[in-house]
A and B are shown apart, each in its own frame.
Chain A
Amino acid sequence: MKDSEIDRLLGEVQPTPVPAGALAEAGRELLEEIMSVHSPAEPGRSDQAVPLPTRTWSLARRRLAWVGVAAAVVAAVVVPTVVFGGGGAVVPVTPATQAPTPTPQLPHTKNPYVLLDAPGWEIDHVNESAEDNGEISFQQPETGQSLQVSWTTMDAYESRYEDRLDVSDPEPITLFGANADRFDYGKGEFEVLAPQSDIFLEVRGSSTGGRKNFAGLLEQLRQVPAEEWFAAMPDSVITPDENPSYTEEILAGVPLPEGLPASAFVSGFTNSRYHVEFGVIQRATCAWLENYEQAWETDDEPAMAAADQALAGSPNWEAVRREDGPDPIGAEQYVKAVSQRKSVDGYRSNLGCDDLG
């Protein structure tokens, strides 16, 4: 089933499509009613929460993502064999003859290293998208409950807190020994905002039952030493030391444009396999489209043909072919355009290539 088919199916099951142009008169009346309401903002919870977009924040993250990648590439060269072993220790693996032993290095991220000790719960995914931004998601497969812990820099805290005032009144609680606020979304969904020096945590529980159950889960959250956190990662999560080899594995069979080294794909962050694969496939797709775009502008048929051949084979790239692998969102139309030697204008923003730096 292609993405477009899934989207079409989901589009068809949306509740109650609205007839175009319907209710226009009622809408006009509502507009006049609203505009007759005295303003500016009156005191009240719902008025306090306007979720202003945080573009500057996302741009900052992009830059940091590049810093992270660059750092990882350097790390891959300088300390290629550091592994985070079991038993809570960071184990440097070096040839016996090599001296001195390299100092184990932990990634330079703001990861708060949170684990959940609740019985029956497991790590669903980890997604570090930048040095100071990421999330870890836990789930209870039998009950469908989930708990997500995400972290971002404090400069986003104020607007996030104001947003949540629209959800409910904050209830002060303690998380990891510090003050935090809990917000109630209803239907067993809660969220906690917990500032921690230069980052803050958002802990979101879904289908977690009542307030008491959610509080019980929070009590079982632990911040642990980095080594313990890495040791607790399941096979489905790729730690920074594993990233170069896993990236190499993903790239097997993926043709790369000339001059683009495999090391450009290496990341210094911790991510679920899915997210690592997504990043690699996205970067490879973007690189080929960039090559094609340049070739198209200069009418360089051999270069266009090379991009065409590479992209045409992308559905067979191992990571893409697997059932649980990633899809380069929206790439289908550009692959088709390349095959027809048409313009691929707009691919950078539509495929998120700009976000890659």
Chain B
Amino acid sequence: MRSVVTSADDRFRRLYADNFQAMLAYALRRVGSLDDSADLVAEIFLVAWRRRAEMPPGDESRLWLFGVARLTLANHGRGEQRRHQLGEKLRLELREHLVTHDPTSELLEVRAVRELMAQLEPHDREVLELAVWEQLAPREIAVALGLSSQVVRARLSRARKRMRILLENHSSGMFYGHKSAKAGHVRGVPTMLEPKEGKS
């Protein structure tokens, strides 16, 4: 039991509260199983907790956390399945909330787009995912990745350009209908999975 609550502890609590959902989403979008996602979230915050003294002030702490997340993910990608004692409840509730992990992957269009994304260069894909999935601005991505804003913009522009060419060259032409599809929807793709129960 901690007897002293430091300002660093308070800042970490705030960082955690503000970014738990974002890190959960980050993990779920990038690793293959719910258990791995829970482990990754636990690992990200554990590393951040241990290094909290180095957390930058203000909004940059959020971007710093994304930097922690990508390197923790890289470690995770090496196949070291480190099961933590931490986050057991998170693992269980993830299974309960998202019984079928990523059901949208069964849809042909979704699979096709993801396969096209996989054809982008890793550096380009990374900035595109951070921009589109994590909704980070180029300036924020630059901070998170430790790059210049100019490099990020060039990579982002190149990634979108290549993605456009890949989509337009895709043999089935299935994406051309997207523009006229119902706003905000790829045909047949739910925009959000509904939790089984009310918000907790």
Contact = CB atoms under 8 A, between A and B. Distances in A.
Chains A and B belong together in one complex: yes
Contacts of A148: 121, 123
Contact of B54 (A27, A50, A167, A184): A50
- B interface, over-half SS: helix
Interface residues of A, number: 91
Contacts of A144: 119
Contact of A166 (B72, B146, B156): B72
Contact of B149 (A12, A17, A352): A352
Interface string B102-129: 1011000110011001010111000010
Given A11-B133, A29-B90, A184-B78, A329 B143 contact: no
Contacts of A52: 54, 56, 64, 67, 146
Interface residues of B, number: 105
Contacts of B75: 45-46, 166-168
Contacts of A182: none
Interface stretch (A34-42, A81-89, A291-299): A34-42
A14 interface: yes
B147 A58 contact: yes
A254 interface: no
Interface in B10-50: 12-13, 16-17, 20-21, 24-25, 28-30, 41-43, 45-47, 49-50
A159 B146 contact: yes
Nearest to A14: B133
A323 B167 CA distance: 12
Nearest to B155: A127
Contacts of B9: 35
28 contacts: A11-B132, A12-B189, A14-B133, A15-B30, A15-B105, A19-B194, A20-B21, A22-B199, A30-B45, A30-B87, A31-B13, A34-B86, A37-B86, A39-B50, A41-B50, A47-B50, A51-B64, A53-B143, A53-B144, A58-B147, A58-B148, A65-B150, A146-B122, A184-B78, A185-B74, A274-B158, A324-B165, A329-B138
- 9 tightest Cβ-Cβ pairs between the two chains A and B: A51-B67, A186-B78, A58-B148, A21-B199, A26-B90, A26-B93, A166-B71, A26-B89, A50-B51
